[in-house]
Amino acid sequence: MERVINFSAGPSALPEAVLRKAQSEMLSYGSSGMSVMEMSHRSKDYMAIIEAAEANLRELMNIPANYKVLFLQGGASMQFAMVPLNLMNKNKKADYVNTGVWSKKAIKEAGRCGKVNVVASSEDKTFSYIPDLDPSTFDKEADHFHITTNNTIYGTRYTSIPDTGNVPLVADMSSDILSKPYDVSKFGLIFAGAQKNLGPAGVCIVIIREDLAGNQMEFTPTMLNYQVQIENGSMFNTPPTYGIYLCKLVLDWLKDQGGVEAIEKVNNEKASILYDFLDNSNLFKRTVAPKDRSIMNVPFVTGSVEKDDAFIKAATAKGLVQLKGHRSVGGMRASIYNAMTLEGVQKLVDFMKQFETDNG
């Protein structure tokens, strides 16, 4: 069967070149005579894989030497608890910005460890914008300040990063890591579930400034202790070996594309093609404030549930799949992460034009 054009929000499409490389090495990786998923995580072959994955990530994101890189399990959702357990350790206070489902879950977990100050929220308009931040509302005694840089469900993103002074800035970058350059030194900690721009589900990347580790709360489970994970090189227990291998292949591919700066140009072009159509369509409507709209996740509606359903059904028949919006908001959503091609986005827009002609 011919491959479809996959607009899934996650797990999302992987670069075809990565899948073909993994396919070619499935039965035997290099001269090992075995698959990566069969080999010991402490073997020479596997240690070379995880070390190369970290080196690639450090190069692509220009990660300073005083930051540690971890490959963990539990997804970004585990980090909602792991961050406060390790960082909310001095004044038992933290600042959070509420921009959607994932930040709300992070707020709830942090509330188990101390006092959460929600400095701003966009819930009043169904998270369709990024709220303006007033530094006077920031708590200078907060142990950390949490944001979600890109909101997958609602299609919003931060276009500028808040200055939190001496308070460590924590960022959930699950859906826009590696899509554009970020100055890692502006953050105390970055985490990202892999299943959007990094690789398959099952791996979570953590980038932590080393001075923030080692101050965990006394009752922090060993597995959730950053210092323990650092000291064991992400191998306190058996890591998700095959997932990390695929992340390494994705990072190899991204380097082949010219790196983060080069892929950002492609991402902007893809988003421009889709938004230009939506801005001028008589049928389809965008749902996000223009100044805050994401280049990774593009939600849209027709204004009619029946037409939305008809569009999704017709698109699927044409091989344009996973366009249904999140169950909490409905409508449609095209996720156009790094692996999505310009051609794929253009085919979607061409189909939308034809659907509008036939159903407008």
* Residues labelled catalytic: 102, 172, 196
Spatial separation of the C-alpha atoms in residues 175 and 76, rounded to whole Å: 10
Distance, in Å, from the CA atom of 98 to the CA atom of 148, rounded to the nearest integer, reads 8
Beta bridge partners of residue 98, listed in sequence order = 121
Q: Alpha-carbon distance 180 to 183, whole Å?
A: 10
Sequence-ordered list of residues with C-beta below 8 angstroms from that of 199, at least 6 positions apart, any chain: 14, 243, 244, 246, 247, 249, 250
| Distance (Å, whole) CA 353 – CA 360 | 10
What is the residue whose two structure tokens read 């001075």?
211
- In which residue are the tokens 């323990």 written? 228
- Provide the sign of the torsion angle of the four alpha carbons 343, 200, 112, 66, taken in this order: negative
Which amino acid, residue 83? V
Contact between 176 and 12 under an 8 Å Cβ cutoff? The reply is no
| Cα–Cα distances in angstroms (integers) from residue 174 to residues 46, 86, 249, in the given order | 25, 20, 18
DSSP track, 313-351: HHHHHTTEE--BPPTTT-SEEEE--TTS-HHHHHHHHHH
